[in-house]
Amino acid sequence: MAYSDKVLDHYENPRNVGTFENDDEAVGTGMVGAPACGDVMRLQIKVNDQGIIEDACFKTYGCGSAIASSSLVTEWVKGKTLDDAAQIKNSQIAEELALPPVKIHCSVLAEDAIKAAISDYKAKHQG
C-alpha cells in the first residue's frame, strides 16, 4: 500500500506528541477507538480563558494514517475557538492527507477525537 508523502511526513515526524495533566481544569481529553479495531486515539486540548485552544497533543495506537490524522488535527485545532475546532470535518482531513478509501475511518476517528475532547472540556466547565 502506498502512503502519501504527507502521511509519511506526519508519521515520521509526528507533531505534538505528548500528554497533558488530565486534572488540569484547562484540559479536555478525548479518547476514541478500541484496541480490538486496531486504533485508539487520545487527543488533548488546552483551552485559555478566551475559549481559544492554546495547545494540543496526542497519542495514537494505530496505523500510519491514524497517526498522521491525529498529528494533523493537533496542528489544526491550535489557535481555534472550540466552536471552530468542532467544525473540522473528516473529509478535510482525508483530503489533506490524500487518504485512500480503506483509510477514511482514520479521519473519522480524528474528527470524533476532537469532538470528544471538546465535550470533555465543556463537561468540566458546566455550572
Partner 1 sequence: MKKPIYLDYSATTPVDPRVAKLMCSYLTPDDGLFGNAASRSHQYGWDAEDAIDTARKHVANLINANPKEIVWTSGATESDNLAIKGVAEFYAKKGKHIITSKTEHKAVLDTCRNLERFGYDVTYLEPKSDGLIDLNELEAAMREDTILVSIMHVNNEIGVIQDIPSIGKLCRARKILFHVDAAQSAGKTPIDVEAMNIDLLSLSAHKIYGPKGIGALYVRRKPRVRLEAQMHGGGHERGMRSGTLATHQIVGMGEAFRLAAEELEQDYAHALKLRERLLKGVSDIEENYINGDMERRVPHNLNISFNYVEGESLMMALNELAVSSGSACTSASLEPSYVLRALGRSDELAHSSIRFSFGRFTTEADIDRAIELLHQKIDKLRSLSPLWDMYKDGVDLSTVQWTAH
What is the DSSP code string of 96-113? HHT--GGGHHHHHHHHHH
We find the least distance from the C-beta atom of residue 14 to partner 1, in angstroms, to be 6
Q: Closest separation between CB of residue 125 and partner 1, Å?
A: 22
Catalytic residue numbers, as ranges:
37, 106
Residue 39 is placed in which grid cell?
Answer: 486504533
∠ CA 104-107-111, rounded to 5°: 140
Q: Which is nearer to partner 1, 81 or 112 (CB)?
A: 112
User: With respect to partner 1, which residue has the nearer C-beta, 85 or 113?
Assistant: 113
User: Between 34 and 123, whose beta carbon lies closer to partner 1?
Assistant: 34
What residue ranges bind partner 1 (CB under 8 A)? 3, 11, 14, 17, 19, 31-42, 59-64, 66-67, 102, 105, 108-109, 112, 116
Give Cα 3 to chain centroid, integer Å. Answer: 20
Residue found by looking up cell 506526519 in the block: 10
d(CA 2, CA 65): 11
Q: At its nearest, how many Å lie between partner 1 and the CB of residue 102? A: 7
